[in-house]
Amino acid sequence: MKDYMKGLVTGLICGILSVSAGIYIGLRTSAPEGLIFHYPKSGLLSDSGRAEKLGYIEKIVDTGFLYDIDPDDLADGMYAGLMAGLKDPYSRYYTADEYEEETTVSEGNYSGVGIVMTMNAEGSVDITRVYEGSPAERAGILAGDVITAVDGLPVKGLTLSDVAGLIRNTGKDSAEFTIQRGEETLSYTVAIERVEIPAVTGQMLDESGTGYIRISEFTGVAPDQYEKIMASLKEQGLQKLIVDLRDNPGGYVTSVCDILRKILPEGVIFYTEDKNGNRTEETCDGKNELGLPLCVLVNENSASASEIFAGAVKDYGTGTLVGTTTFGKGVVQSIIGLNDGSAVKLTISEYFTPDGNKIHEIGITPDVVCEAGEEGFPETPDPEKDPQLLRAMEILDET
């Protein structure tokens, strides 16, 4: 489910990354219990036939390949191939750069300027989003601006990662952007600061006290953002709540559990089982139960941690699920960092809803099945263009 986030990942102008330990639904930042770090005395390369075959293939490549060879790229391909041999879509090898990009989005805060970029057909870089309150917004940069140079270096012909690297590697506390805005060429000096990626947004929908919160991903900062938005909605007279998890690919287990502990009654939030049948539970003490009518919007792209949220709400009867059946990712991965900055991610357990319902490759069926509009759902909540949101509002009006 991370694949469709790559535009966001590579587009973030990130600098010094701060990664905190935690558990992802999808990622765990420590090795699973019992894993010992040493070179194995038995395994694939201990077999002389396999080691000889690998050496022979390397010699064929070295002597016959037309173009230049980067030994580091060959090595990365070998490590990636080992993980690909598991035939598990969620287990993989990350190079150091890939691992940094992966954790940037999952953590939810980074050192940068607060913009999202895409590459345009001319080879320049379009700014598609400027985060509210970010250094870029304060400097005057707008969505729709085109970056033509960073610190005087043209970006044409570079990749998005290269452009991000120009900013990340300035060695200064600011970067100079050359911007094309229509016919104007402008220059902006933008501070490089700690930036929070907005993962949670919200607003009041009507005068009857219907509040709306959209969680785009359960990042490390999502619980704090959720709490601030909830406080604001309560000040505005919140009486009933819609939580939108459509297209939410998942994120940290710790984040989804922290938010659910402000919604659920006392009990199990979800539990996992590993290959040996060992069971681990996440629980809620029920002291901060929501106590308001609740609807949760889900769709076929609501995955992983989103399904933990949806499954718990459904099992406890805390709210009504509206939308379409969720993605069906019910397995947990552990990520093990290696000493060169690379990492491997490995599926280690399966998780289940409080009532013991299996999610993996099944998903969660909503209480009220409702299809989206022909063009999906709008970025800004609009019940006139969003049949699923409208249905949720109708259900809450009936309670």
Reduce the DSSP state of residue 331 to 3 states and report it.
Answer: strand
Reduce the DSSP state of residue 72 to 3 states and report it.
Answer: helix
CATH number of 200-398: 3.90.226.10
102-116, 185-199, 208-222, 316-330: least confident range? 102-116
Whole-model pTM: value is 0.79
The two tokens of residue 110 are: 């980074």
* Beta-strand relationship, 320-323 and 331-337: unpaired
CB atoms within 10 A of CB 356: 9
> CB within 8 A of 385, min separation 6: which ones?
373, 375, 377, 378
Cβ–Cβ under 8 Å, residues 101 and 9: yes
Q: What are the residue ranges of CATH 3.90.226.10 in the chain? A: 200-398
Instruction: Evaluate if residue 33 carries a pLDDT over 50.
Output: no
* Average pLDDT in the chain: 87
pLDDT of residue 133: 87
Strand partners, 117: 127
- 127-136, 160-169, 386-395: which is most confident: 386-395
Helix (H) or strand (E) holding 80: helix 71-84
- 12-21, 50-59, 269-278: which is most confident: 269-278
**Per residue in 287-335, pLDDT tens?**
999 999 999 999 999 999 999 999 999 999 999 999 999 999 999 988 8
User: Can you name the CATH fold of 109-196?
Assistant: Pdz3 Domain (2.30.42)
The distance from CA 162 to its chain's CA centroid, rounded to whole angstroms, is 22
Higher pLDDT among residues 367 and 162, named by residue:
367
Residues with a known catalytic role = 304, 315, 329
Q: What are the residue ranges of CATH 2.30.42.10 in the chain? A: 109-196
**Per residue in 57-73, pLDDT tens?**
999 999 999 999 999 99
72-81, 97-106, 124-133: least confident range? 97-106
The two tokens of residue 331 are: 């397995």
Report the distance separating Cα 121 and Cα 362, nearest Å.
40
- Percent of residues, the chain, with pLDDT higher than 70: 87
Higher pLDDT among residues 361 and 23, named by residue:
361
- Work out the end-to-end distance of the chain between its first and last CA atoms, rounded to an integer number of angstroms: 34
pLDDT of residue 171: 67
Instruction: Evaluate if residue 164 carries a pLDDT over 80.
Output: yes
The two tokens of residue 54 are: 């690998």
The two tokens of residue 58 are: 């390397």
Q: Rounded to 5 degrees, what are φ and ψ at 370?
A: -150, 125
Q: Mean pLDDT, to the nearest integer, of 175-201?
A: 92
Cβ–Cβ under 8 Å, residues 351 and 25: yes
The DSSP line for 344-393 is: EEEEEEEEE-TT--B-TTT----SEE-PPBTTB--SS--TTT-HHHHHHH
Instruction: Evaluate if residue 37 carries a pLDDT over 50.
Output: no
**Per residue in 246-282, pLDDT tens?**
999 998 889 999 999 999 999 999 999 999 999 999 9
